[in-house]
Each structure stands twice: as C-alpha cells, then as structure tokens.
Amino acid sequence: MWREILDKFRRFPAQEKVIRLILQRGFQVNEKGRVVSGGIEIPHAQIAKELDVDRRVVDTTATAIREDQELWKIFRNVRSMTFLGEVAPVLGLGVIEITPVNASKTGILGNVASAVASYGLSIRQAVSDDPYFVEDPKLTIITEGKIPGDLVRLLMEIEGVKRVTVY
C-alpha cells in the first residue's frame, strides 16, 4: 500500500519528501487541505523549511491528498503515537533495539516477544520501523524492567536478528 501511495508522487521528488514526512510524523490532512496533528494545524512553511522545499510544494501536496479520495481516506485518519524509546531509561524501563537481517521477514516480533516473556518481563511497547520509510529499520521493545544479559544472548540466537542493542 505504501508503495502505491509513494508511486503517485514518484514524478515529483519534493512532494514525495512531503508525503514521507507526513507519514513518518503521523500527521493528517484535514478537509481544508491543511496538514494537522489532531486539531493543531502544522504551518506549511515550517514543513517546507524542515524539508528544504518551497512552501507551495507542501500546499500542492496537501491539496493533492485532499482531492484524491483514496489518499484522503488514509491521510485524514493517520495518527501519531507516543514513543517511549528515548525516555524509557529515565522512567526505569528497559529498551531492546533489534536490527533485523531483513525487515520483511515474518516472525521476528513474535519470536522476540516470546523470548522477552520467557524472562518474565512485561512488554510496555513494541514499535517497528516501516522499511518503506526508514533506510535501516529497527524493532524497539520497551520492557517493564531492566534487560538481563542472558536475554540478550537468547535474542541474538533468533533467526533473522542481525544485532541487539540494549539501553
């Protein structure tokens, strides 16, 4: 599905950058063709500045999304979420970052979750980067407690796991 969305903007690299940012940040496009996060409007000039594109590119992209019924069904409903990865250590939570050999391989999340559960750790959050938007996707697991060294060794034995980093 993401490939189909990006293909609509493939001939317009600046607009593709806007689409990627909107999706990565979980922004929506409202009925007025404005980029928003919930009820908060994100100034198109700010988006343009971050992407180093002209503001009109953001305007055009948001309008194109609003006028395409398939795209608008998606972009009016996208939502951002709180990601605990950066603050977990401050909160006393464990962080496991899994770098897969191939992010499209099935079963990695399930196998990692089973391994974590086998050590009696509760998973507070599991976030997987989408390989369509992130060059080096990772799976981040936030646990209720600190990560034992034996668990790290077990995770490294899971087929498809390239690297395990613990914070």
Mean pLDDT of 29-36: 96
Same structural domain, 67 and 28 = yes
The pLDDT mean for the chain works out to 94
Q: 2 CB contacts (<8 Å, ≥6 apart)?
A: 23, 130, 132, 133
Same structural domain, 104 and 68 = no
pTM of the model: 0.80
Residue at 58 is within a domain: yes
Same structural domain, 62 and 114 = no
Mean pLDDT of 12-21: 94
Same structural domain, 162 and 109 = yes
- Runs of H (alpha helix) within the chain: 2-7, 13-25, 44-51, 55-67, 69-75, 108-118, 149-156
Amino acid type, 152 = V
Q: What pairing do the DSSP bridges indicate for beta strands 123-128 and 139-143?
A: antiparallel
pLDDT tens track for 33-58: 999 999 999 999 999 999 999 999 99
- 66: tokens are 């609003």
Q: Is 73 helix (H, G, I), strand (E, B) or coil?
A: helix
Same structural domain, 18 and 58 = yes
Q: DSSP class of residue 143?
A: E
User: Residue 131's pLDDT is what?
Assistant: 83
- CA dist 61 and 66 (Å) reads 9
CATH code: domain of residue 158 = 3.30.70.260
User: Residue 132's pLDDT is what?
Assistant: 75
Confidence of residue 104 (pLDDT cuts 50, 70, 90): confident
Same structural domain, 70 and 103 = no
Same structural domain, 59 and 99 = no
Domain coverage including residue 40: 2-75
- CA dist 142 and 147 (Å) reads 10
Give the up-direction half-sphere exposure of residue 63: CA atoms within 13 A in the CB hemisphere. Answer: 6
Residue at 9 is within a domain: yes
- 21: tokens are 């940012």
Mean pLDDT of 118-139: 91
User: Residue 10's pLDDT is what?
Assistant: 87
Q: DSSP class of residue 94?
A: E
